[in-house]
Structure 1
Amino acid sequence: MTKQVSLTGYQLKILGIILMVGDHIYEMFIYAQPPTILNMFGRIVLPIFLFLSAEGFYYTRNRLKYMSRLLIGFWGMNLGNQLIPKLFPMDEVMLFNNVFGTLFLATLVMYCIEEYKQKHWLKATGLLTLPFVIALPFFIWMSTGNGSSMFIYLLQIFPTYITVEGGYAAVLLGAMFYLFREKRSLQFLSLAVVSLIATGFDFSQLLVNYQWMMVFAIIPLAFYNGQKGRGDKYFFYAFYPGHIYLLYIFSYVYLNYWM
């Protein structure tokens, strides 16, 4: 009898990390025209980590602590994204990556789902709408052009649905992964719908705007066996910003001293 192939949460995470590194190599060395396939394969990374965040949020013993780690990660990367380019300035590459904000908002919506289940209507609604309220001054400033830089700093402290990496669609996908976590087919349907939205319904540009390729995350997720696997609670929190900043610095050195 052949052994059925399955993946633990840890193995999914390692797969996501490998593809994520390839994607970020593409971003950090874009001026050298790296293979586009690195960026294409990178599209499935965010759905994998949103899926794992839904699993992690469900099983964690302390949901608020789980969320606070993501928020602290968001703050830390915002600081790093400001500091590193000042130390190693280059116009060819911009630092904007910060998936911690996306994962935090996704878990915030998950938290609100649980609060609604407990009939804590006011609390859940308040928390759910808070990112909209925070983003409002930013929209006013953008529309009038007569605002203050304090709004930009505000967004560095409080993530919003439209300013985080992946935007509202990514946050919604994470929430759907959690809401339908016992119905894998509905999780995959949610991913397919978000992938369709990502096309902008302009199917003539599928090889130019390939964000829709996130739908292929269904393949590894279909092999998830529901087991956590090896534990490494803090590895991702260190590896994610660490490898981005190292690649950025390598790119700076290559651009300024090797090209």
Structure 2
Amino acid sequence: MKPEQKFSGISGSTLKIIAILSMLIDHIGAAVLERGLLASAWVKNDAALFDKIRAVDRVLRLIGRPAFPIFCFLLVEGFLHTKDSKKYALRLLVFAFISEIPFDWAVRGNAVDFRAQNVFFTLLIGLLVMMAASYFSKNIWLQGLIFALGLGAGYVLKTDYGYKGVFLIELLYFLRYDRKMQCIAGALAFSWETTAPIAFLPILAYNGKRGLSMKYLFYLFYPAHLLILAGIAQYCAAL
């Protein structure tokens, strides 16, 4: 008889896959259903069909809510373990610009739309805040100012999730030495998103291990899947 296997937790790569799948489902609702099918004439003219698709959309968006908190947690973990935070920030900046047109096209229907910026900008602001706060780790007042400036940047630049997203990153960083408190505080901070707190269940089970090496998976998947969904949405809207 084989010895009973004990649950060893969830690796970082598993968390990343969970977040990516959740995000994909969310964006299918936001792009293909909301901006595509629900905007098409044949669906608008069929009230029963419109209501059914709308109901499916609500379910997809609820499934997608846990994605962002997981990405925030992984960002904090990435910062704590990276050997070069400057390269980390540069990578986020590059992909923020690469992803902006796909994001605007998929979510807003325009190639360029300044009403909202993609999530890479939110993550970049959070990373810069952590870098600055770490540099001035002995000055609590300066750290407070840095946190405030980060919130302001998220609000002014209209990044995805805005100042609330930056605040979650700051909160998870501040509580980085206590996983249980991270999860409790994070769940409370994002309780305004109905299903987002569910993200902290797999986060609580995180075992601190990297898992499979998939450094660029999210970076490449994010703009690529948005481009594909934007094309599908445009096709559906034209039906």
TM over 0.5: yes
Residues 89 and 195 of structure 1, relative CA distance in 2, 3 Å threshold: closer
Residues 130 and 185 of structure 1, relative CA distance in 2, 3 Å threshold: closer
Question: What is the one-letter code of the residue matched to 1:164?
Answer: T
Measure the CA separation in 2 of the matches of 1:192 and 1:229: 25
Secondary structure in structure 2 of the residue aligned to 1:117: coil
Measure the CA separation in 1 of the matches of 2:26 and 2:100: 20
Kindly, what percent of the aligned residue pairs are identical?
29
Which runs of 5 or more structure 2 residues have no equivalent in the other structure?
39-52
Using the TM superposition, give the Cα deviation of residue 54 of structure 1 relative to its aligned residue in structure 2, in angstroms.
0.4
Residues 60 and 250 of structure 1, relative CA distance in 2, 3 Å threshold: same
Which residue pairs with 2:84 in the alignment?
62
Residues 3 and 98 of structure 1, relative CA distance in 2, 3 Å threshold: same
Of the structure 1 ranges 39-48 and 162-171, higher mean CA displacement relative to structure 2 is found in 162-171
- Does the CA contact (< 8 Å) of 2:126 and 2:150 recur in 1? no
Asked whether 1:224 is paired with 2:206, we answer yes
CA shift digits 1:141-197 (9 cap, x unpaired): xxxxxxxxxxxxxxxxxxx2211111212111112212222201110122133124x
- Does the CA contact (< 8 Å) of 2:76 and 2:173 recur in 1? yes
Measure the CA separation in 1 of the matches of 2:208 and 2:79: 14
- Does the CA contact (< 8 Å) of 1:81 and 1:96 recur in 2? no
Which residue pairs with 1:39 in the alignment?
61
Which residue pairs with 2:7 in the alignment?
4
Using the TM superposition, give the Cα deviation of residue 25 of structure 1 relative to its aligned residue in structure 2, in angstroms.
0.5
Measure the CA separation in 1 of the matches of 2:97 and 2:150: 16
Which residue pairs with 1:182 in the alignment?
177
Alignment of 1:108-257 (within 5 A): 108-117=128-137, 119=139, 160-162=153-155, 163-196=158-191, 198=192, 211-256=193-238
Measure the CA separation in 2 of the matches of 1:63 and 1:14: 23
Counterpart selection for 2:28 from 25, 32, 41: 25
Measure the CA separation in 2 of the matches of 1:3 and 1:73: 39
- Does the CA contact (< 8 Å) of 1:81 and 1:95 recur in 2? no
How many residues get paired?
211
Which runs of 5 or more structure 1 residues have no equivalent in the other structure?
136-159, 199-210
Residues 57 and 16 of structure 1, relative CA distance in 2, 3 Å threshold: same
Measure the CA separation in 2 of the matches of 1:227 and 1:253: 42
Secondary structure in structure 1 of the residue aligned to 2:136: helix
CA shift digits 1:88-141 (9 cap, x unpaired): 769xxx99561101111111121122012155987x678656567xx7xxxxxx
Using the TM superposition, give the Cα deviation of residue 67 of structure 1 relative to its aligned residue in structure 2, in angstroms.
1.2
Secondary structure in structure 2 of the residue aligned to 1:49: helix
Using the TM superposition, give the Cα deviation of residue 39 of structure 1 relative to its aligned residue in structure 2, in angstroms.
0.5
Measure the CA separation in 2 of the matches of 1:46 and 1:7: 17
- Does the CA contact (< 8 Å) of 1:107 and 1:175 recur in 2? no
